């Protein structure tokens, strides 16, 4: 496990950070920035050192040219007058009294070769570039090299994510050759977080790799047969090299059915707990089974709130492994959210949010299945709770999946579910 690190975004969430929103007819982004800095420093903006010395103002004005339909838009961070500044679309400005922009770290803005494995490397990849390089080309090459595909095979246009000309000009040296080195611009592209630094580095990291390292929660959805969900579970949870605590929440099947299902052989050191939510339609007698070695079965016969409490408690017990930096991976699998959706007295987002928070707290991975079409009613309510969505379908080629990654705004092509046995 990797210990939590101080990140760049931490300084923009501190009590010393001031936020400025754009208003109508208040000039260009660079003008708004100068006025905001004047307010923070309590001086006339006209006597500030030229913004041009730190960043190209015209490029800054042009860097945010995309419409609001993109889920992740660029952000620019740099230092000016010993203050750290963050600019987001549509002109949201954050200014702190931190004197320097920290180094790039693990929380910064990156797909993997999805069909090979659900998660790729958690490591960031860094490339050097020269001021004379075409940064757009460098970014595309860096990402395609990481994925292992030809540059002609990318599914997105870089121009749909960031203005390539503005990207080139943002941190170009001054006319006299003085470098601008104290800032960076980041954006999503092909499922990667891409960070271009003024100091001549392009850093990329997959959103999935970051999800694996930091922990998160994934909704698995589709109007498909149950065996397709079982195949996807096998695909997601198979990792023979890890020592895991697997927590299964059963809302629609018995432990017997789960244990009889063909699954990959678990390493002997793995611990498995089954939280069996015994709804009225499924009798306690039908749910009980003889526990296998390293398998604990916890029956829950109360309400959905009791189930929620039990899951949070079981996940939280694994926190000591994270705190002690022990090599154990926590994985939660909820066999179906359908009973939660159908419970009129339960707000599904309120049911899920504390569970998802607990999973992230131990840097685990949670998978939650919902046997409905992604365009159905509940999606609007619950998809925002999760860190990613996997959509399933059955086509002429057989069971397929595609991943929807909200932070980079990337959706993969459909690809086969490779069941691991």
**pLDDT tens digit sequence for 245-258:** 899 999 987 776 66
| pLDDT score of 259 | 61
Q: Strand 410-411 to strand 201-206: parallel, antiparallel, or no bridges (unpaired)? A: unpaired
Question: Quick one: what percent of the chain has pLDDT higher than 90?
Answer: 37
| pLDDT score of 367 | 96
Helix (H, G, I), strand (E, B) or coil at 386: coil
| pLDDT score of 169 | 93
- SS3 letters across 9-47: HHHCCCCCCEEECCCCCCCCHHHHHHHHHHHHHCCCHHH
Helix (H, G, I), strand (E, B) or coil at 360: helix
What whole-number distance in Å separates Cα of residue 363 and Cα of residue 217? 10
Question: Quick one: what percent of the chain has pLDDT higher than 70?
Answer: 76
- C-alpha distances (whole Å) from 67 to each of 161, 166, 188, 279 are 10, 16, 15, 47
291 touches 299 (CB < 8 A): no
| pLDDT score of 56 | 94
| pLDDT score of 25 | 65
Tokens encoding 401: 């999946």
- Condensed to tens digits (0 to 9), the pLDDT of residues 161-205 reads 899 999 999 999 999 989 998 888 989 888 888 989 888 889 888
Q: 211-232 b/e with 16+ CB inside 10 Å = b?
A: bbbebbbbbbbbebeeebbbbb
Domains of the chain (ranges, CATH numbers): 1-208 (no CATH), 215-416 (3.40.50.300)
- pTM of the shown model: 0.75
Q: Strand 183-189 to strand 125-128: parallel, antiparallel, or no bridges (unpaired)? A: unpaired
| pLDDT score of 112 | 34
Helix (H, G, I), strand (E, B) or coil at 189: strand
145 touches 46 (CB < 8 A): no
Give the residue ranges of the chain where pLDDT is below 70.
Answer: 1-10, 24-26, 65-72, 90, 99-123, 239-242, 256-270, 279-293, 321-328, 377-378, 419-421
């Amino acid at each position: 496990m990797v210990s939590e690190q101080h990140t760049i975004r931490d300084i923009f969430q501190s009590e010393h950070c001031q936020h400025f929103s754009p208003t109508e007819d208040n000039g260009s982004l660079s003008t708004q920035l100068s006025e905001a800095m004047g307010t923070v420093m309590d001086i006339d903006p006209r006597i500030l050192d030229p913004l041009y010395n730190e960043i190209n103002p015209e490029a800054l004005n042009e860097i945010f040219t995309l419409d609001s339909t993109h889920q992740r838009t660029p952000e620019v961070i740099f230092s000016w007058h010993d203050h750290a500044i963050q600019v987001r679309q549509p002109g949201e400005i954050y200014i702190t009294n931190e004197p320097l922009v920290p180094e790039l770290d693990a929380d910064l803005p990156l797909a993997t070769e999805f069909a090979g494995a659900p998660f790729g490397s958690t490591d960031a990849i860094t490339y050097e570039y020269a001021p004379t390089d075409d940064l757009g080309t460098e970014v595309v090459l860096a990402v395609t090299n990481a994925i292992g595909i030809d540059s002609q095979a990318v599914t997105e246009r870089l121009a749909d994510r960031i203005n390539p000309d503005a990207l080139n000009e943002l941190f170009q040296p001054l006319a006299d050759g003085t470098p601008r080195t104290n800032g960076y611009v980041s954006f999503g592209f092909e499922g990667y977080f891409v960070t271009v630094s003024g100091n001549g580095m392009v850093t990329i990291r997959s959103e999935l790799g970051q999800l694996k390292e930091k922990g998160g929660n994934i909704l698995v959805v589709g109007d498909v047969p149950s065996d397709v969900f079982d195949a996807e579970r096998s695909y997601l949870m198979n990792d023979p090299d890890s020592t895991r605590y697997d927590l299964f929440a059963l809302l629609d099947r018995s432990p017997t059915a789960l244990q009889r299902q063909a699954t990959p052989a678990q390493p002997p050191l793995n611990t498995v707990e089954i939280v069996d939510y015994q709804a009225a339609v499924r009798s306690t007698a039908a749910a009980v089974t003889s526990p296998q070695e390293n398998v604990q079965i916890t029956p829950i016969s109360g309400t959905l709130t009791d189930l929620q409490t039990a899951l949070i408690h079981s996940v939280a017990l694994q926190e000591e492994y994270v705190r002690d930096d022990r090599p154990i991976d926590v994985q939660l699998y909820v066999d179906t959210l359908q009973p939660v959706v159908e419970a009129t007295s339960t707000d599904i987002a309120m049911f899920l949010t504390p569970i998802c928070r607990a999973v992230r707290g131990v840097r685990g991975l949670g998978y939650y299945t919902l046997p409905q079409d992604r365009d159905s009613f509940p999606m609007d309510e619950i998809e925002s709770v999760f860190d990613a969505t996997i959509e399933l379908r059955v086509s002429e080629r057989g069971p397929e999946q595609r991943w929807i990654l909200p932070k980079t705004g990337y959706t993969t092509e459909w690809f086969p579910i490779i069941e691991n046995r």
